[in-house]
Amino acid sequence: MSKAFTRETDTEDDEEALPALPAGGRNYITPHGYARLRAELLHLIDEERPKVVEVVHWAASNGDRSENGDYLYGKKRLREIDRRIRFLTKRLEIAEVADPTLHHGHSQVFFGATVTYAEESGDERTITIVGIDEADSLKGQVSWVSPIARALLKSQEGDVVRLVTPAGAQEIEVLQVRYPAPGEASVA
């Protein structure tokens, strides 16, 4: 059968890359995270996709498409871009922007807080609780649905909370809770 009549699978790879939203839950996101996702969406729509479409059009005009690397790669890249555009559009539609600067000066842990805590071993760690779509563990950002964030939410400075991990339960002490000041960048 000719390749023209076969359908390539169109799986939602991006859906698998990020954790699913909690059932009936909300998609909380910081203003900075929302702006970053929106900027990525606009970049894909306004800049990257038109360039790839142009390359595919040029490659298609060269004749035999079955052995044309530019055409084949361009079509594949176009599917990836379209998949990412659909994903970002869906996530931004259901996003609920929560501004952590509203809690500036408070000592209770809510969404957007930067929390310093001490583990039983004495190690101190600092994390920032952000949305599912913007969490980056390399930057110390954790999703608000992660086990550490769930354990810390609603606690206050000085509280000792129980964190259940695969290695077993441990107690951690909340040492400091910070929020960005109004006008400050929320999360870099």
Q: What is the pLDDT of residue 67?
A: 77
Total domains in the chain come to: 2
Residues 32 and 75 in one domain: yes
Residue 184 belongs to a domain: no
Q: What is the DSSP string of 18-49?
A: SPPPPTT--EEE-HHHHHHHHHHHHHIIIIIH
Identify the domain boundary among 71, 97, 123.
97
Residue 36 has pLDDT above 90, yes or no: yes
State which H helix or E strand residue 127 sits in.
strand 124-130
Asked if residue 109 and residue 71 are part of one domain, the reply reads no
pLDDT of residue 65: 77
CATH number at residue 60: 1.10.287.180
- In tens, the pLDDT along 117-152 reads 999 888 999 999 999 999 998 999 999 999 999 999
CA distances in angstroms from 71 to 44, 67, 140, listed in the order given: 19, 8, 41
CA distance 117 to 158: 9
SS3 144: coil
Domain boundary among 97, 121, 138: 97
For residue 40, give its domain range: 26-97
pTM, full prediction: 0.76
pLDDT of residue 24: 60
Question: Is residue 78 helix, strand or coil?
Answer: helix
Helices and strands (DSSP H and E) totals, the chain: 5, 7
Q: Is residue 9 in some structural domain? A: no
